[in-house]
Amino acid sequence: MAKKHLKRIAAPATWMVDRKERKFIAMPKGSFKMAMGMPLITVLKDVLKLVATRKEGKRVLNSKEILVNGARRKDEKYMIGLMDVLTIKDIGKSYRMLLDKNNILRLVPVTESEASVKLGKVTGKRSIRKGLIQLTLHDGRSLLGAAAHSTGDTVVLALPKGDVTQHFKLESGCQAYLIGGSNVGRTGVVDNISGDKVTVKIGNDVVEAAKRFIFVIGKDKPVIKSVVSV
């Protein structure tokens, strides 16, 4: 039987929550790894502090237009993960879920234009029927791709339908956002790729990161705001 709640003290280190406030916190439902996403009710209550109680949060979800990636969500445990866009129609604000330099998930305010797109990292690629190619993205979704797409690349999805509008390859010169390792939350330019290791120029620094920690966010310049103010 699936657990309905999670002890706050056992919540992932990436969650920005008070671990001593109460004993339990909502268990998220979704395809993200738990460290890469949070339940909607926790975001509204603990992160944005728009509601004071779970009961109030459930009432807001049932009566207000709370959108995740352009689609209305009412399930309090629905998981908002890395690169997802949360829009709260009632207050006219949108946010993107990102990791800061302390490896904490935070919601970064974005413009209406930026809220209309989501980036998906290609984590899997396989051939299916009739020679079609299926891609798996970091958020668990599957979609049809092309031969030009490779694992580690990024596709830009137009919200809410999720149509692919752009494709950024993981290659030298591309814009990279680090989602793990000692340089998590930093943005730079890929300098070199050697096997599973990638060197990235970040200002005057040149750092090395595992390929799995590289999230391409543009070709010549980032297409999203990736700087998280702490």
pLDDT digits (tens, 9 = 90+) for 43-102: 999 999 999 998 999 999 998 899 999 999 999 999 999 999 999 998 999 999 999 999
Q: Which fold has domain 5-110?
A: 3.10.290
Q: Is the pLDDT of residue 22 over 90?
A: no
Residue type at 62 in one-letter notation: N
The H helix count followed by the E strand count for the chain is 2, 19
Ranges of each domain in the chain: 5-110, 116-168, 175-218
Task: Find out if CATH 1.25.40 is the number for domain 175-218.
Answer: no
Asked whether 134 and 146 are in contact (CB, 8 A), the reply is no
Please, what CATH class does the domain formed by 116-168 belong to? mainly beta
pLDDT value of residue 1: 39
Global confidence as pTM? 0.92
